[in-house]
Amino acid sequence: MKLEANFVEQLSALHPRDLIDMLQSEDRPHFDTHWELLNEIKPADLYCYLHGRFGPPNGIQNFLRGDHSENLIHWEWALASQDRIMLVQGHNFRTELWVSGDELPLEELGQLVVGIKHDFPRHGQAMGKVRKALEHWVEFINPYYRIRSSVECLMSEIEALGVDGAATQLASFAKYESPEEWSNEWGRQAEVVAKATGLCFGARAMLPVMAEAFVNLLMYLLMKPNLKQDDRLRENLIRQPIDVRIKSLAHNCVGFQSEIDYGHESCRRYHSLVNERNDLLHGNVVIEKLRFNDLHFNGRVPVFSSYSSMWERAFGVATKSVGLELLRDERQVVEDFVEYVISRLEKRMQEQVRVFCARRDLGMRLDDGRLGVLFSGALVDMAPGPRLAG
């Protein structure tokens, strides 16, 4: 079985009422051919072609969709050619085609694709008008959400290691039944502490960046139009030192009910956190922050001011050097800073900002730089059920 000759040329749009009458009749059509298109024809090209040639989508699914972007089927055309009906549906991850009549082999899909592409030039002007009327958006990853999720993941892994319970000070090996038992426990704790300190180093280094990403997102979201539309001005603002960006938020952005008080406790604590991060990340030699022991020497003879255990010397120093016990408090510093900045916004803006912060995927309209939440974040798909015999 092959697709009839001139199938594409003879396609015409069905009125929804006529299609409903056909589907309700006793000899209603059966759609035995189900094809899927990925990018054999770009979905935007196919949409413009169908819209330009046949007018707005006319399939029944268009009346079932909600007036939003969260639908399983976004658009559908119902077309007729010769003795067949073809439904063309735009889904989230593919275009689906349902063709009535006797089942067609998959090879015929290739011929259909060739036929549609060959028909593009005949409707190029109409396709261009449709494409020009479409809003062009791009999706991008929310950097604040990405960093925040990474920090949460690292903190969860540290929590799962159970450092407090899994790495406790070991008694002298003389108190174990055998040196092997003590050695095994030492090795186990060494592994736990090494993982925890590595994860902690990463999390602490990212926390100030998380706050900075929030400030940058806020600027992109609320920057005054005259500043956002000027590339030089926009880039200059984004490249300012972080404290300058924070202090000037209310001046450069819309939606603020009051200026940011950089002397506020949440800002002061965040500023200190940035300095701590710089010392940690850049390996700055700040003795007061790095010291862990006091001792004396008589020539080459060490005289300790106080004794520390072997565990403290090996593992205690490691955990303190990366601030494992500070991690939760520093996370709270960032959360308090974000909440303080949001509180300076007008009430109507606060909820919008919270929605943006909570989404991984955001969209930007290319012609005016407007940001938006295009989808809910839930990935949804559907598949046809099993075909019943008889």
Overall average pLDDT of the 60-80 stretch: 91
- CA–CA dist 346, 293 (Å, integer): 51
- CA–CA dist 125, 114 (Å, integer): 20
Bridge partners of 84, per DSSP, are 81
Lowest mean pLDDT among 77-91, 165-179, 193-207, 220-234: 165-179
- State both tokens at 249: 């938020």
Binned at pLDDT 50, 70 and 90, residue 45 comes out as: very high
Contacts with 177 (C-beta within 8 Å, 6 or more apart), sequence order: none
User: Has residue 388 got a pLDDT over 50?
Assistant: no
Give the closest residue to 247 by CA, choosing from 223, 272, 220, 215: 215
Lowest mean pLDDT among 117-131, 183-197, 359-373: 183-197
User: Has residue 241 got a pLDDT over 60?
Assistant: yes
- CA–CA dist 318, 163 (Å, integer): 12
pLDDT, tens digit, 9 for 90 and up, residues 73-88: 999 999 999 889 999 9
- CA–CA dist 277, 146 (Å, integer): 19
- CA–CA dist 152, 165 (Å, integer): 21
Report which of residues 373 and 339 the model is more confident about: 339
Question: Mean pLDDT score of the chain, rounded to an integer?
Answer: 86
- CA–CA dist 101, 341 (Å, integer): 62
pLDDT value, residue 49: 97
Binned at pLDDT 50, 70 and 90, residue 328 comes out as: confident
Residue 231 neighbours by CB distance under 10 Å: 8
- CA–CA dist 89, 98 (Å, integer): 8
- CA–CA dist 219, 228 (Å, integer): 9
- CA–CA dist 209, 278 (Å, integer): 11
